[in-house]
Amino acid sequence: MQKFQQYIDGAFTDGAAQFESRDPATGRTWAIMPEARADDVNAAVEAAAAAFMSQEWSGMTASARGKLLFRLADLIAQNAQSLAELETRDTGKIIRETSAQIAYVAEYYRYYAGLADKIEGAHLPIDKPDMEVWLRREPVGVVAAIVPWNSQLFLSAVKIGPALAAGCTIVLKASEEGPAPLLEFARIFDQAGFPKGVLNVITGFGADCGTILTTHPKIDHIAFTGGPETARHIVRNSAENLASTSLELGGKSPFIVFDDADVGSAVNAQISGIFAATGQSCVAGSRLIVANTIKDRFLDRLKEKAEAIVIGAPDDMTTEVGPLCTRGQLDTAISLIAASVDQGAVVITGGHPLECEGNYFPPTIIDCTDAPDAPCLRHEFFGPVLSVLGFDTEAQALEIANDTPFGLASGVFTKDLARAHRMIRGLDAGIVWVNTYRAVSPIAPFGGSGLSGQGREGGLQAALDYTKVKSVWLRTSDDPIPDPFVMR
């Protein structure tokens, strides 16, 4: 039985309480986690606030911050495999995915390391001849970063990287579901040489941890990844401290295939788009919208590939789909599919949990031709479930794609360049992938609109979101300022 600790003010300590973490592949307890309560949260925020005001951090040059981030990136790369194994154990995410993803996470820290001394202000051509006016970009302050269990090292990197590059300090709350990788990440961060208190890592539950953190008067910005309902609570909580927010939420992303598309390529992309990460991804292409002229042929190939996917233990490199992280996700999939079938949807393959130990649900495809309002088309499963609709015209495809309150990602497969541009303009989504899917880079902004959130992660814009603008006025005239109360 492994035991993990929280990281506050440069020290590793037990939380006010503890809780058990269960292995999603077996359902058995494998580790003890620290549970942060009010005193722990307050200590973490106070440590971050003190670090933000300290000369050791606030007086550090941007180039020096960048060198620390480069050091952190190197340490992550060196420890990528052990972090991947830990994430696989605690969340059920398969090892072939955690290994590849965490190795790439280091590139995000390298990007923001290089960006740290390139966050610039501006000189204003002011309309007053005896004034010089310029803008300074300064760190926003203490950041509460809250991440879910899936892809947590990536989702924390797109917050920690730009926040530290901008000069902020952070309290990172790992999800109570599978927090082990981020608690271990704190040990790697500790080796990088940052001043104590710059990053603090805790985990815990709603009222005793999350609410206290997001309402704390010394929190200046809240960066959250998760579901819309929790985001609503966070926005309401931020009214207490008037913290700014950036929200990266869920999705019900359309995957649109026109009849001129390369079918083989589109099928492979759809398989990756919905069944990679066992469907537990905010950008999962969970709504296939396919031209009716090729629908049957496309679904035949898709079904064949889906049924050939290897389901198995997450720590086996041959496994392609592992268990869902929680029993709750399994129950959600069962209920949403049952409700959709009641409305006329037809299960093409899958649809029932596997009769085995652990939270295993097979790749599932549901044809919603006769159930265009089925729950499976409206709700985010966070599991390997694909809902299918056909279309006859480009306008119809666009209408179906935008018929959702989410607006995160989308995919378009066509060889017609003019059509691709029309779809790009028309799709209400923060990301449009054309003839590809799930491609990401630290250079490109990531985020959506509507129930998919606000703000962007990745790219220069993310770093700017962790800054505030200060206007500076300098009078250049040597003439005395006239007495404002003497009439002339």
Just list the catalytic residues.
Answer: 248
The beta strands (E) that lie in 140-243 are given as 142-146, 169-174, 199-203, 221-225
Report d(CA 168, CA 53) in Å as an integer: 10
Give 18's strand partners: 34
CA-closest candidate to residue 168, choices 470, 456, 467, 469:
467
471: alpha, beta or left? (left if phi > 0; alpha if psi -120 to 50): beta
Structure tokens at 417: 């360049």
Report d(CA 16, CA 143) in Å as an integer: 22
Q: Which residue has the tokens 């696989």?
A: 88
Rounded to a whole number, what is the largest CA-CA distance in the chain? Answer: 92
Structure tokens at 131: 């004034």
Contact criterion met (CB below 8 Å) for 244 and 156:
no
Residue 420's alpha-carbon distances to 291, 403, 413, 423, 470, in angstroms, are 15, 19, 8, 5, 42
Q: Which residues make Cβ contacts (< 8 Å) with residue 291, sequence separation at least 6? A: 257, 258, 259, 390, 391, 392, 397
Task: Output the CA angle 281-20-237, nearest 5 degrees.
Answer: 60
Q: Which residues make Cβ contacts (< 8 Å) with residue 1, sequence separation at least 6? A: 29, 30, 31, 32
Contact criterion met (CB below 8 Å) for 160 and 170:
yes
CA-closest candidate to residue 437, choices 267, 252, 321, 298:
267
Cα within 13 Å of Cα(345), Cβ side: 29
Instruction: Find the distance separating the first CA and the last CA of the chain, reported in whole Å.
Output: 84
